[in-house]
Amino acid sequence: MRRALRCAVLALCLAPGAAQGQGPGLPALPERPIPAGEGRISGRVVHAESGAPVAGVQVILLALDEQGQPSWRTANSDGEGRYRFGGIATGLTYQLGALYAGLPFSGARLSFEPGVLRLRAGDLPVRDPRPAAPGDLNLTALRAVLDVDAAAVSVREVHELRAEGKTPLLGTLQAPLLRIPLPRQAVELRARSSDAGLELRPVPTPGDVGAGAAAGAAGESLAVLGSLAPGELHVELEYRLPAPSADTPARFARRLPFHIPLLEIYLVDTGDLAPRSKLLHRRRPARDGSTNYLRLEAFEVAPGEEIDLTLERLPPRSAVSQGVALAAAWALLLGAVAILLWPLVAPFRPRRAQTGAEEAAASPDAAPGSAAAHGAAYAALREEREALYAAIGDLDHDLETGKLSAADHAELRAELRARAIHLLREERAATLPPSGAARASAEASATAGSSAADSGAPGADSEMRAATGAATGTATGAATGADARAESEAPPGAPHAAAPRCAACGFEAAQAHRFCAHCGAPLQAAQAGAATAAPTDSTAGAAADGTATPRDPQAGGAAQDAASGRTAQ
Amino acid sequence: MSDLGFYALRLALLVAAAGTLAGALAGFRNSAALAAVARRALLLNFALCTLALAALFHAFATLDFQLSYVANHAARSMAPHYRMAALWGGQAGSLLLWCWMLSAYAAAALPAMRRLPALAPWASALLLGGCIFFLALLCFVSDPFEKLPPAAVLSDGAGLNPLLQHPVMMIHPLMLYTGLTGFSLPFAFGFAALAAQATGAAWLRATRRFTLWAWCFLSIGILLGGRWAYEVLGWGGYWAWDPVENASLMPWLAATAYLHSVMVQEKRGMLRIWNLALVGLTYTLCLFGTMITRSGLVRSVHAFAQTEIFGVLFAGFVLLSAGLFFGLLIVRLPRLRAERQLESVVSREAGFIVNNWLFMALLAIVFWGTLFPKLSDWLAGREILIGPGWFNGLTAPVALPLLLLTGVGPLIAWRRATPAHLRRHLAWPGLAGAAAALGLALWLPQAGWLAIATWAIGAFVLVAIAGEFARALRARARRGEGPGRALAALLRKNQRRYGGYIVHIGMVLILCGVAGSALEEEQLANIRVGDAVSMRGYRLEYRTARPIRAQHYGGAEARLALFQNGAPLATLTPEKRVYWLEQQPASIPAIWSTLGEDLYVVLSAIEQDGSATLKVHYNPLVNWIWIGGGAFILGTLLVMWPLPRRAVPA
């Protein structure tokens, strides 16, 4: 309430005409009678420094009722500085104030104790203003609102000021309270102050204080004149600057001769403005009703430091029209539908030549026995075989580095070999369509297939080692050799004299098998039996056998290369 | 262009829906034509997502503030590269990036689908199904192309969180998303293998490189996140067990377990069910992590603020994906029996199984700790927060045996290991570990047993790996190869094994670096100009402070002279900033970094009287985390690098 009362007193004191009232007769001050009662308040107006009574001072008594409604009464101090308010209600709280030399002074806050009808308020001190000196009136913040339209940039500057100390200040033309440089290109300039008792007058800027290229209009400043009580006030400047065009950006440039702790600029955002400034930084945009503001800010601007804000108009966006975008979207939609539906509406269109794998991919449900199914099977088998080669290579590496016992190595290797051989056969079968495979098998059965048999088990083993070599990557062309051999060996189901039986484990193998499907050992009997069928290849098989040792897959691979080369010939 | 992006997203949704339907029908009916439609849908979906992404990039490049997303995440003052990175700085853009990556992976999987035609329809359906969810979110919940009303269009945008305007942050989310979305492929192929009843090793081989790729990028993402936190956030650490950090760690743990156990299936035909479960778990955790990051389910410094509907939708999607996968896995269980049984508990496969148990234990701890605050809120009505101490206390005892396995595992043979074999291979590493433990216990008893054990086991593992290299090099030397050539041949021809060892070295270094935190010290001091603060032989003398007035932020920096044992080393200038646009304070630390230790200085405040309040951290061995991370990534790249192989002729 104290704050409200104080504001009310000050507002009352600052009411139009109050500034002129230094004596009796203040006709402009409106009265709102305080409710009547039996209470009385009296006191004395004295000079703060000398303590001498001051006559003719208008004293204001302000009251707030329970609903917060203000009421007041005025009285003038007599020759001894005394004043008295009688016939007032006792149930209210009162605030005393005075107007002296056009300045408001705040007095005591009073209330009647129960049963008490007279109150002595004590002395109400007033002071004579003294001439303002630098540092008496300081800027606490400068806020500017800029509104850019086609015709101009409208600027409203609010200089927030604080009069320090307790003594009122007096600004004169020789020593104004404040001198605010006016912008050079400003037109339609208007100024007002929150203290109606102050006078704002354009004056030539004396000397060169803060007058830079961008400073006052023809060296003019706005002088703040009159008496000023301690406290806060603001001075507003409104003016217009030239609007930005496509070629020339607008410029808001100020250079003030005093320190600005906080500078805030609110720029009404039209969506096409690009403010640039070295001094100011951006803050989050602000919104007031339907208006958006770009917000810029700077702290601790030094006296004479240039505030420079360039406002450019952004070029209009060369946006694709909605219609074009919609048309493009429709085109995309139609294209997408066409692409998606094509396999459904044209499943039997002519195809280009494809590899087996591609065909398989194109038709995962290809009928068993079709080329596509064979391609897919082949690709999968080849991949699996490569993985097996890698596993065998790993196994050998484990043996070499002593992480696997020889017995475990042999057993594990035999398992992998058996699987690899099985894959080689299946892979070969998958390479060609069944009819072709059967024909090729039949043709090969008498020649290439028996070549391994001619060379016996070691030759066949070299094939496996070559495969291993491919896996470890040490045998150049080993895989080629292994595959070539797989191509040329006897097909499953090719006629043989007797079913071979594994010498190592006794497992009965299929006739075409050259390795035991159970333990992976070479099937010597079967191959020895077929040895005579193809004497021309026996040398190749023997060479492979002769050069390859179990620990030397590279040699085996090389030999196998030779063997495959000859077979191909 | 943004209109085009808008339409492209909606069209992509239609295409993905059509492709999912076609893929599923192709799977059920075994129809080639429908499978071809699904494959085309994958490519089309990728093209349309690319168009949408390009449109959003274009909007950021040209600062199209008509788009609400651009207006909220970019500003004219931002450098162009950060403007572009702002695309994934918010919810809608990062969802679009995620969706685009998903579509890109789906398109990249086409060659693998060609090799495995039986799996292609199902894999396509699942991948496109994932895209449907993200596209639906983008179209109906969080639209990056949403336009502002004309009256609300501003000349400048709101900018991006300044802490994200950091070089590391430009690529950290990319790496993380590349990793997280990458696990969609093994997930989709695993599902397809179950659906098509082709659960052999073929799908594993087809997705192995993708899995490694995703894992590698997830690792890089996690490491970069740690590095960014250390350099930018100014709290003195690199890992805080924040829910969002945990969200990326959980799939990494599951994926790491999978990468180990998959070897058992490849080599021994075992753990087929387990591998499928891990694949399902990994991607489910990727989605789950994304959900908790974006739905606001957990409190985190870097969680996206989100609406409730987002969390509900995401939770539904996670449950649906996981339900489909694990439901099918359960249905197919009878067909997934292992080819072999475990023959010995002292074998490499047994080692892998223990390794997996430990990873799962870690995962369970992290999962529980991440969700516990929310669970306590649901059950007890009070959110009980779990601090780093809880995580450290529980994870360390699990991580140590895991670290030990890193050294022991590769030394044990497949199937079974004999005592003699173990003695022979474990003697030197064991000796090194014991010597390190003894030495450290005498030299640095204050480090505590956990840190000493970590370093000792680290020494054990490093010597074991060195022994592995030495044995292999000796074996190749017997063929007459020189050491350099032998090493190159070794890395080239057995890249998985020896690349894996390098990854292990990286992991050892990282954990040893993390263990350095046992010797951490911290000091808070308020000192006046001319005064000094001392710590561990270092002396920081406060010389002066000066205000910073940059274009986008203001604040102060303190200039501190650093001395070590009296000798001048450097001038450190920690900063305290406030970013104007975002009104966000930040402490930019000054770090004196050496191989052995970091001195990490944070300026908490310049007080009214001119004194500086400093927080000084002594962080030992932190650099080894980044060095280890480098080795880790190098090893992973080596493992997955597609070295040219000799073609196996048809």
Question: Which residue range is the domain that position B30 belongs to?
Answer: 1-160
pLDDT category of residue B447 using cuts at 50, 70 and 90: confident
Mean pLDDT value across residues B77-106:
89
- B153 inside 8 A of chain A by CB: yes
Q: How far is it, in rounded angstroms, from Cα B128 to Cα B103?
A: 8
Among residues A63, A86, A74, the alpha carbon closest in space to that of A30 is found at A74
With left for phi above 0 and alpha for psi between -120 and 50, is residue B271 left, alpha or beta? left
Neighbouring residues of A25: CB distance < 8 A, sequence distance ≥ 6: none
pLDDT at B385 over 70: yes
Mean pLDDT of chain A: 70
The answer on pLDDT for A70 being more than 90 is no
Inter-chain contact B120–A480, Cβ cutoff 8 Å? no
- Look at the block and give the residue holding tokens 């044992």: B565
Query: A295: helix, coil or strand?
Result: strand
> What confidence score (pLDDT) does residue B404 get?
92
Contact criterion met (CB below 8 Å) for B268 and B340: yes
Question: B22 to chain A: which residues are within 8 Å by CB?
Answer: 340
* Torsions phi, psi for B71 (to 5 deg): -60, -30
User: What H or E segment, with its residue span, contains residue B618?
Assistant: strand B612-620
| Distance in angstroms (rounded) separating the CA atoms of residues A200 and A189 | 12
Lowest mean pLDDT among A187-191, A482-486, B599-603: A482-486
B77 touches chain A (CB under 8 A): yes
B425/A403 CB distance under 8 A = yes
pLDDT of residue B552: 80
> Which pLDDT tens digit goes with each residue over B511-555?
999 999 888 899 999 999 999 999 988 999 999 998 887 778 888
What is the b/e burial string over A41-62, where b = at least 16 CB atoms within 10 angstroms of the residue's CB? bebbbbbeeeeebbeebbbbbb
Within 8 A of A299 by CB-CB distance, chain B residues are 549, 554
Query: What's the mean pLDDT in B349-373?
Result: 91
- What is the Cα–Cα distance from B160 to B385, expressed in whole angstroms? 29
Strand pairing class (A199-204; A169-171):
unpaired
What phi and psi values does residue A232 have, to the nearest 5 degrees?
Answer: -105, 150
Q: Which residues 255-294 of B are in CB contact (within 8 Å) with A?
A: 266-267
pTM of the model: 0.75
What is the C-alpha to C-alpha distance for residues A214 and A218, in angstroms, rounded to an integer?
A: 10
Task: State whether B421 and A403 contact (CB < 8 Å).
Answer: yes
Q: Give exposure, B315-352, as e/b (b: 16+ Cβ within 10 Å).
A: bebbeebbebbbebbeebeeebeeeeebeeebbbbbbb
Distance CA B436, CA B423 (A): 19
The mean pLDDT of A103-114, rounded to a whole number, is 86
pLDDT tens per residue across span A543-557: 333 333 333 333 333
Contact B36 A328 (CB under 8 A): no
Question: Which of the residues B3, B6, B135 would you substitute to probe the A interface, choosing the one with the greatest number of A C-beta atoms within 10 Å?
Answer: B3
Cβ distance A364 to B155 less than 8 Å, yes or no, reads no
Task: Check whether A433 has a pLDDT greater than 60.
Answer: no
CB hemisphere CA count around B320 (13 angstroms): 11
Kindly determine whether residue A336 and residue B14, on different chains, have CB atoms separated by under 8 Å.
yes
pLDDT of residue B277: 93
Q: Is B32 on the interface with A (CB under 8 A)?
A: yes
For residue B263, being part of any structural domain is answered with no
Contact between chains at B7 and A360 (C-beta distance less than 8 A): no
Provide the pLDDT confidence category of residue B387 given band limits of 50, 70 and 90.
confident
Task: Determine, yes or no, domain membership for B35.
Answer: yes
Name the one residue in this structure whose structure tokens are 């079913």. Answer: A499
User: How many Cβ pairs within 8 Å bridge chains A and B?
Assistant: 213
Q: Give this complex's ipTM.
A: 0.72
Q: Which of B118, B133, B160 is the last residue of a domain?
A: B160
Task: Supply the DSSP symbol for B148.
Answer: P
Q: Which of A8-12, A309-313, B451-455, B572-576 has the lowest mean pLDDT?
A: A8-12
* Band of pLDDT at residue A496, cut at 50, 70 and 90: very low
Whether the per-residue pLDDT at A369 is higher than 50: the answer is no
The answer to the question of residue B243 being in a domain is no
Angstroms from A365 CA to nearest CA on chain B: 6
Does B40 reach chain A within 8 Å, measured CB to CB?
A: yes
Question: What confidence category does residue B263 fall into, taking pLDDT thresholds of 50, 70 and 90?
Answer: confident
3-state secondary structure B504-560: HHHHHHHHHHHHHHHHCEEEEEEECCCCEEEECCEEEEEEEEEEEECCCEEEEEEEE
B644 has a pLDDT exceeding 70:
no
Residues 6+ apart with CB under 8 A from A326: B3, B7
Contact (Cβ atoms closer than 8 angstroms) between residue A503 and residue A512 = no
Last residue of one domain, picked from the residues B160, B186, B210:
B160
Tokens matching residue B551:
């274009």
Provide the domain count of chain B.
Answer: 2
For residues B234-262, give the mean pLDDT.
90
Mean pLDDT, to the nearest integer, of A496-521?
64
Tell if the CB–CB gap between B117 and A363 is shorter than 8 Å. yes
**What mean pLDDT comes out for the span A403-426?**
82
Which CA distances in Å does A152 have to A84, A244, A251, B473?
57, 8, 11, 83
CA distance A489 to A452: 8
Tokens 């009303």 appear where?
Answer: B149
The Cα B389–Cα A184 span in angstroms is: 66
Asked whether residue B636 is assigned to any structural domain, the reply reads: no
Q: Do A134 and A252 meet the contact criterion of CB atoms below 8 Å apart?
A: no
Answer whether B61's CB lies under 8 Å from B83's CB. Answer: yes
Question: What are φ and ψ of residue A304, in 5° steps?
Answer: 85, -10
The pLDDT score that the predictor gives to residue A548 is: 35
Close Cβ partners of A290 (under 8 Å, ≥ 6 residues apart): B151
Contact B409, B351 (CB under 8 A): yes
Residue B103 has what pLDDT?
94
The answer to whether position B337 is within a domain reads no
Say if residue B100's pLDDT is above 90. Answer: yes
Q: Is A208 exposed, middle or buried (0-12, 13-18, 19+ CB in 10 A)?
A: exposed
Q: Encode pLDDT of B188-224 as tens digits.
A: 999 999 988 877 778 888 888 899 999 999 999 999 9
Stated as kind and residue range, the H or E segment containing A86 is strand A82-88
pLDDT at A479: 37
Which pLDDT score, from 0 to 100, does residue A568 have?
Answer: 34
456-485 of B, contacting A, C-beta below 8 A: 468, 471-472, 475
- Measured in angstroms, the CA of B470 and the nearest CA of chain A are apart by 9
Bridge partners, residue A75, by sequence: A59
- Tell if the CB–CB gap between A404 and B413 is shorter than 8 Å: yes
The rounded distance, in Å, linking the Cα atoms of A526 and A281 is: 92
Least confident of A483-492, B44-53, B526-535, B625-634: A483-492
pLDDT at residue A374 in the model? 56
B50 pLDDT above the threshold of 50:
yes
User: Residue A421 contacts by C-beta under 8 Å, 6 or more apart in sequence?
Assistant: A464, A513, A514, A515, A517, A520
Q: Do residue B649 and residue A479 have CB atoms under 8 angstroms apart?
A: yes
Query: What is the pLDDT averaged over residues B82-106?
Result: 90
Chain B contacts of A326, Cβ < 8 Å?
Answer: 3, 7
Q: Does a structural domain hold residue B545? A: yes
Residue A506: per-residue pLDDT: 67
Q: Is residue B437 part of a domain?
A: no
Average pLDDT, chain B: 87
Q: Which amino acid makes up residue B132? A: I
In this prediction, residue B36 has a pLDDT band, given cuts at 50, 70 and 90, of: confident
> What's the gap in Å between the CA of A555 and the closest CA on chain B?
12
Among residues A431, A464, A403, which one has the least CA distance to residue B471? A403
Residue in A262, A282, A312, A334 to test binding to B, most B beta-carbons within 10 Å: A282
Return the higher-pLDDT residue of B1 and A525: B1
In one-letter notation, the amino acid at residue B78 is M
Is the distance from CB of B137 to CB of B95 less than 8 angstroms?
A: yes
Residue B417 has pLDDT above 90, yes or no: no
pLDDT bracket for residue A257 (50, 70, 90): confident
Q: Which helix (H) or strand (E) holds B20?
A: helix B2-29
Q: Does residue B357 lie within any of the structural domains?
A: no
pLDDT value at residue A500: 63
| Mean pLDDT, residues A207-227 taken together | 62
Integer-rounded Cα Rg, in Å, for chain B is 27
Q: Which pLDDT belongs to residue B1?
A: 76
The whole-number average pLDDT for the span B374-402 is 87
Least confident of A164-173, A368-377, B275-284: A368-377
- Min mean pLDDT across A114-123, A275-284, A536-545, B51-60 is at A536-545
Strand, helix or coil for residue A469: helix
Higher confidence at residue A248 or residue A371? A248
Which range (A296-300, A307-311, B641-645) has the least confidence?
A: B641-645
Q: How far apart are CA B491 and CA B469, in angstroms?
A: 10
- On the question of pLDDT at A328 being above 70, the answer is yes
Looking at the predicted structure, is the pLDDT value of residue B272 above 90? no
**Strand arrangement of the beta sheet that strand B612-620 belongs to:** B521-527, B612-620, B597-606, B590-593
Q: What is the pLDDT of residue B454?
A: 94
Q: Distance (Å, rounded) from C-alpha B133 to C-alpha B114?
A: 26
B3: tokens are 């209109």
Q: How confident is the model at residue B419 (pLDDT cuts 50, 70, 90)?
A: confident
- Amino acid A173: pLDDT: 82
Residue A457 binned pLDDT confidence (cut-offs 50, 70, 90): very low
Q: What is the pLDDT of residue B221?
A: 93
How far is A471 from A393, CA to CA, in rounded Å? 5
Q: Which of B 100-129 lie inside 8 A of A, CB atoms?
A: 113-118, 120-121
CA distance A429 to chain B (A): 11
- Alpha-carbon span B640 to B211, nearest angstrom: 9
Q: How many CB atoms lie within 10 A of CB A322?
A: 9
Whole-angstrom distance, CA of residue B211 vs CA of residue B172: 19
Angstrom distance (rounded) from CA A526 to CA A518? 16
- In a mutational test of the A interface, the residue from B42, B412, B580 whose CB has the highest number of chain A CBs within 10 Å is B580
User: Is residue B286 scored above 80 in pLDDT?
Assistant: yes
Q: What is the DSSP string of A509-542?
A: PPTT-SB-TTT--B-HHHHHHTGGG-GGGHHHHH
Using the Cβ of B174 and the Cβ atoms of chain A, whether some distance falls under 8 Å is answered with no
Q: Which residues in chain B touch residue A261, judged by CB atoms under 8 angstroms apart? A: none
DSSP states of A101-123:
TTEEEEEEEEEPPTT--EEEEEE
